[in-house]
Amino acid sequence: MTRIPELVCPAGALPALKAAVDNGADAVYIGFRDDTNARNFPGLNFGPDDARKGVEYAHRAGKKVLLAVNTYPQPHNWPIWTAAVDRAAALGLDAVIMADPGLLRYAASRHPDLRLHLSVQASATNHRALEFYHQRFGIRRAVLPRVLSLQQLWHTIAHSPVEIEVFGYGSLCVMVEGRCALSSYITGRSPNGSGVCSPAEAVRWEETPQGRQSRLNGVLIDRYGPGEAAGYPTLCKGRYHTEGRPYYAIEEPTSLNVLDILPELVQHGVAAIKVEGRQRSPAYVASVTRALRTALDTCAADPRRYQVREEWAAALDRLSEGQCHTLGAYHRPWQ
Amino acid sequence: MNTHATSYPPIRLPALPSLPRWPLFLAVRSIPEPLLADAAARIMNRLLGERSADLAPLEGRRLSIEGTDVGKRLHFLVAGGKLRRGSTAMTDLRIRGTLADLLRLGLRLEDPDTLFFSRRLSLEGDTVTGLSVKNLLDGLDLDWAEACQRLFGPLAGPAVAQGLHRTGVAALLRDRLERILGRS
Ligand code: SF4
């Protein structure tokens, strides 16, 4: 019998973690309240007390909690990152999601029983890279960047020594995650270094007579006319004057959604499906988790008769950036 | 087959017509702004309870919340670790939306990003303050278990909470609230 992928859902705080567990997540991933993870936003994430409560809540329901320690430490702040790993081991977290090889080595040697997952921030896109991380640090699972086509994904899974987790729903990041330097260009900060690609202090929203405008460090990213759906103020989703007209030259504000290809993901042995959005609310986590849980269970019951139900798609689209969805790189026949 | 417990058991609610919204609107319209602001601040401080440390990043910040359809603008200030009624002078963050959408936001019935992306909510001013407010709301653990513990004591509390959870009272309450606010 084919194995049903684990549903891995995001939580930026305790209520979202509970929403994920209550609505059918198999695992919830969280981050500590500092720059050791790629969603370092003001007021978001787990302090020590909340982390303990969260682990208790999930474990009581038989679910897992994974911790993202997936940014890259610098020499001067190295102890903050190793402390996060030590705390993860002490709290009994089910796995730590990491990217930095130095930190992976630290975890593997200091906490041999701690399960390690390779973060999407490590940007490993082929099975040889995964082999390396597996041999050196004993990683058990890798999260692949949202840049592979389905053919590339099947090939990687077939040759991978470790479980493969893919993104199933959420805002898109178009670059090979972990290698994006676009934001450093405007703000001097990047996801890998600071855990954030559009830091809040650089973002400015303005309501003007022409519509809502978003600026990143003073640079106009987009202007939305009345009634037009807005998106996150990231450089990659801005509208720029190219060939004389404003246009989404890099990427449109839209969300990835794999409902359409769920049976194929199951059939090819994807071990886990990840939902993006630790920065989103408990309401988002609850709806997305519920929709994907039902879809996965339906698919498990009879993959051949699986069909996307309108209510799942509608629930997911409503919460999407740009309020529409795409298969992203999964569907790029030319790749 | 993957089985799991869900917190929303399939209790079918009797079909009710949407409740009229105007009593709420009339009430909000007729109460003076300072009184509304005082009441809102008091409720928020009560909800925060022992988590009042979460307000620390907002210390000294001035917020204004505007109900566009009820013509009310409330001013707040975070001072001494508490939310208080503020003056009408400058604000660091201005939140605007219809009363129903603001309530959805406050009661956490709707995802704030969804309201913002779909242009039903507008946030202007200091983005750090905006994100802190949003994350403060999202982080409020309105916990049945803890509330029951307080009401029924440490022995009976958890059992009562479990029971409530199973009967789907939370879902029921949520559904009622959504009816009052009108489905979005
Ligand atoms: S700027 Fe865009 S592509 Fe780069 S990290 Fe941010 S979301 Fe990803």
- As for the ipTM of the complex, it is 0.79
Token pair recorded at residue A280: 């989103």
Tell me if chain A has a CB within 8 Å of the CB of B9: no
Q: Nearest residue of B to residue A2 by CA position?
A: B1
**Residues with beta carbon inside 6 Å of ligand 1?**
A 173-175, 180, 182-183, 191, 197, 234-236
Tell me if chain A has a CB within 8 Å of the CB of B131: yes
- Which residue among B132, B137, B139 places its CB closest to the CB of A14? B139
Tell me if chain B has a CB within 8 Å of the CB of A16: yes
- Which residue among A4, A23, A287 places its CB closest to the CB of B2? A4
DSSP state of A32: B
Q: Where exactly does CATH 3.30.1050.10 map onto chain B?
A: 29-141
Pairing assessment for the beta strands A240-242 and A219-224 based on DSSP bridges: unpaired
Closest-CA distance of chain A to residue B4, Å: 6
pLDDT above 60 for A259? yes
Q: Name the least confident of A145-149, A215-219, B36-40, B74-78.
A: A145-149
pLDDT in tens, A55-110: 999 999 999 999 999 888 989 999 999 999 999 999 999 999 999 999 999 999 99
Computed over every residue of chain B, the mean pLDDT equals 76
pLDDT above 70 for A36? yes
Tell me if chain B has a CB within 8 Å of the CB of A176: no
Residue A288 CB-half CA count within 13 A: 37
Model pTM? 0.84
Q: Looking at chain B, how many residues does it have?
A: 184
Contacts of A4 in chain B (CB under 8 A): 1-2
What architecture (CATH level 2) is domain B29-141?
2-Layer Sandwich (3.30)
Report CA Rg, chain A.
Answer: 19
Q: Which of B13, B9, B5, B54 is nearest to B175 (CA)?
A: B13
Distance CA(B125)–CA(A203), nearest Å, equals 10
Ligand 1: residue of A121, A179, A197, A251 to mutate (most ligand atoms within 8 A of CB) is A197
pLDDT in tens, A125-169: 899 999 999 999 999 999 998 888 899 999 999 999 999 999 999
Domains and CATH numbers, chain A: 6-172+254-330 (3.20.20.70), 182-247 (no CATH)
Q: Are A12 and B135 in contact (CB under 8 A)?
A: yes
